[in-house]
Amino acid sequence: MTPAEASAKSLEICRKAPVIPVLVIDDLAHARPLAEALVKGGLPVLEVTLRTPVALEAIREMAQVEGGIVGAGTLLTPADVKAAKEAGALFGVSPGATDILLDACEAADLPLLPGAATASEAMALLERGYTVQKFFPAEANGGAKALKAIGAPIPQVTFCPTGGVSLKNAPDYLGLANTACVGGSWVAPKDMMIAGDWDGIVALAQEAAQLPR
């Protein structure tokens, strides 16, 4: 998969909904009902971060939910890429980008949303052919104002800002010309998952799915 092909697929995925839930799953029993709730609420694209022991198995479970498009986040190494692909991930997300990681994703035909925090990083990824990138960590790097500023000299790149994005500030990002969608964890609060409040998560997803862009 070429960088251009990966970016085209990433853009298609980002256009599915205004918010991509960023999910940290500690209990495998939560995987399927969480995916069902988010998809039911109008958020079909799900990023499962590889930060917990059950993350890969959670991807396998969630990939079976009808209407869901499940990807793996926090990809750091070629081994992560291989494991994510084998688990059924349809796309990958990384906090930053290295040549080794990019090579691995391209070889595995796994569309990657590579992370960039600065104009130089965005330019380096663009030089390789990645026109769709993750702006991370968004709020810590100056928020929507910073992303707008980066977009002025680099309009060729479209971003999915993630990191500190909430229901309150998501519209600031979604209103930018260089933003396709945002990534956020607020639609799947840990306390709701523990309580099994799937209806509550459906409601949060519906609210997020209606954000204008």
Positions annotated as catalytic residues are: 47, 134
Residue 154, judged by CB atoms within 10 A of its CB (0-12, 13-18, 19+), counts as: middle
CA angle at residue 151 from 147 to 155, to 5 degrees?
Answer: 150
DSSP string, the chain: --HHHHHHHHHHHHTT-SEEEEE--S-GGGHHHHHHHHHHTT--EEEEETTSTTHHHHHHHHTTSTT-EEEEE---SHHHHHHHHHHT-S-EE-SS--HHHHHHHHHTT--EE-EE-SHHHHHHHHHHT--EEEETTTGGGTHHHHHHHHHTT-TT-EEEEBSS--TTTHHHHHTSTTBS-EEESTTS-HHHHHHT-HHHHHHHHHHHHT---
